Amino acid sequence: MKNVVKQMKGFSIQKMAIIFGLFAMIIFFSFASSNFFTPSNINNILLSTMINGVLACGAIFVIVTGGIDVSIGTSMSFVSVMLGVFITWWGIPAPVGILLGLILGGLIGLLNGIMVTKMSITPFIATLGMQMITSGLAIVITNGSPIYFNTIDGYQSICLGTPFGQMGGSDYAVNNGVLIMFALAVIFGVILSKTIFGRYLYAIGNSKEATRLSGIRVELWELLAYIVAGGMSAVAAVLMTSRMNTAYPATGAGYEMNAVAACVIGGASLAGGKGSMKGAILGAFIMSILTNGLRLLSIPTEWQKVLTGLIIIIAVFLDMTGKKKNKI
C-alpha cells in the first residue's frame, strides 16, 4: 500500500500530460481518419517508431548525465554502411558481421566519451565533430551509393520476421524489430533506474562536482553512457539495414535530433539529472503517431514538421510550468 502511494506521488503532472497527450492524439486521429486505428497502420506506427525508439534508448543515457550525443544518427549511417561492407563485400557471415557492427558502434561511443571526459571537449562539439566524420566516412566508403543485402538469405527477417505469425487471421503481425526495441527499452530502462550505473548517471547530471567529491569515478560512468549511445546507434543500423535490405550512406541523417526530441518530450532535461526510459519511448511514440496521423489526414510533410516542432516546444513548456508550480 505504501508503495502504491509512493508511486502515485512519483507520477508527476508532466508524465500525466504525456500519457494524456498520447491518448488524446490516438482518439483524435481515430475519429479523423478511418485508416488510423487499423492493424496495418498500427504496424506502420510501430515500425516507424522502432529506429527512433532504439536511438532514444541510448540518447537518454547521455542526456541524463547532462551531455548530448548528436552523432548517433550518422553513426547509424556509418555502421549501416560497414555492415554492408562486412557482410556483402567481404562475405563475413551475418552474425559475425553484426557483432562487428555492434563493436564498431561501441567504439564510436568510446571515442565520443574519451573526447568528453579525458579531453574535456563540450559534448555538443565533440559529438558534432563525430557526426561530420561518420557521415563523411559513410559516403567515402560507398562512393555515395547504397549497398544491397539481396544476396544475404534471411537478413531482412532480422527486423521484419514475425515470430508469432499473423494474429487472429488478420493482417496484423508483430515484427522482430519492434520486439527488439521493446526488449532493449525494458533492459536498459531497468539499468537506468535500478542499478548503480543508472543512479550515478543521474547524480552526475545533477551535480558532477558533488558526485566526484563523493568518491565516484565520474569519468568512467560518463564514458560508459556514451558507449551505450554508440552501441544503440549500431543496433539501429542493424534494424534499418535489415528493414530496407539496403545500407544507404545517408540513412541516419537527422535521426539524432528525433532521439533528443523524444527524450525531451518524455520529460528529460538537457541540463541533466532528469528523464526516464519510459518517457523517452513514449516521446518516440508521440512523434511517430503525430507524423503518421498527419500523413493520413493528407497534411503536407512541411506542415507535419511545423506541428512536430510545436509539440516539442509545448511539451517542454508544460514541463517548465510544472516545475515552477512545484517550487511554490
- Is there binding between residue 5 and another protein (CB under 8 A)? no
- Is there binding between residue 13 and another protein (CB under 8 A)? no
Q: Which of 16, 27, 187, 196 binds another protein (CB under 8 A)?
A: 196
282, 216 in Cβ contact below 8 A?
no
- In the complex, minimum distance from the CB of residue 202 to another protein, in angstroms, rounded to a whole number: 7
Q: Which is nearer to another protein, 41 or 206 (CB)?
A: 206
Q: Length of the chain in residues, anyone? A: 328
- In the complex, minimum distance from the CB of residue 209 to another protein, in angstroms, rounded to a whole number: 5
Copy the grid coordinates of residue 131: 557526426
Q: Which is nearer to another protein, 32 or 213 (CB)?
A: 213
- Is there binding between residue 206 and another protein (CB under 8 A)? yes
- Is there binding between residue 221 and another protein (CB under 8 A)? no
Q: Which of 27, 125, 186, 210 binds another protein (CB under 8 A)?
A: 210
The dihedral over CA atoms of 163, 165, 166, 167, expressed in degrees to the nearest 10, equals: -70
- Is there binding between residue 202 and another protein (CB under 8 A)? yes
Q: In whole angstroms, what is the distance from residue 281 CA to residue 274 CA?
A: 15
- Is there binding between residue 325 and another protein (CB under 8 A)? no
- Is there binding between residue 197 and another protein (CB under 8 A)? yes
Residue 166 DSSP symbol: S
Which residues partner with 147 through β-bridges? 247
Using a 10 angstrom Cβ sphere, with 0-12 exposed, 13-18 middle and 19 or more buried, the burial of residue 181 is buried
Q: In whole angstroms, what is the distance from residue 161 CA to residue 156 CA?
A: 7
- Is there binding between residue 195 and another protein (CB under 8 A)? yes
Q: Which residue has the cell 548517433?
A: 72
Q: Which of 120, 153, 209, 328 binds another protein (CB under 8 A)?
A: 209
- Is there binding between residue 214 and another protein (CB under 8 A)? yes
Binding segment toward another protein, per CB under 8 A, in 67-75, 105-113, 204-212, 232-240 = 204-212
Q: Which residue has the cell 518517457?
A: 279
| CA 161 centroid distance within chain | 21
- Is there binding between residue 323 and another protein (CB under 8 A)? no
What are the C-alpha distances in Å from 235 to residues 60, 77, 137? Answer: 15, 11, 19
Copy the grid coordinates of residue 174: 508483430
- Is there binding between residue 6 and another protein (CB under 8 A)? yes
What is the pattern of x (binds another protein, CB under 8 A) and - over residues 22-61?
Answer: ----------------------------------------
Q: Which of 207, 245, 246, 304 binds another protein (CB under 8 A)?
A: 207
271, 66 in Cβ contact below 8 A?
yes
Q: Which is nearer to another protein, 203 or 261 (CB)?
A: 203
- In the complex, minimum distance from the CB of residue 258 to another protein, in angstroms, rounded to a whole number: 28
Question: Residue 307: which residues within 8 A CB-CB, separation 6 or more?
Answer: 290, 294, 299
Give the three-state DSSP class for 247. Answer: strand
- Is there binding between residue 212 and another protein (CB under 8 A)? yes
What are the C-alpha distances in Å from 227 to residues 152, 217, 220? Answer: 29, 16, 11
What is the pattern of x (binds another protein, CB under 8 A) and - over residues 224-263?
Answer: ----------------------------------------
- Is there binding between residue 199 and another protein (CB under 8 A)? yes
Contact residues for another protein, defined by CB under 8 A: 6, 9, 194-197, 199-200, 202-203, 206-207, 209-217, 273
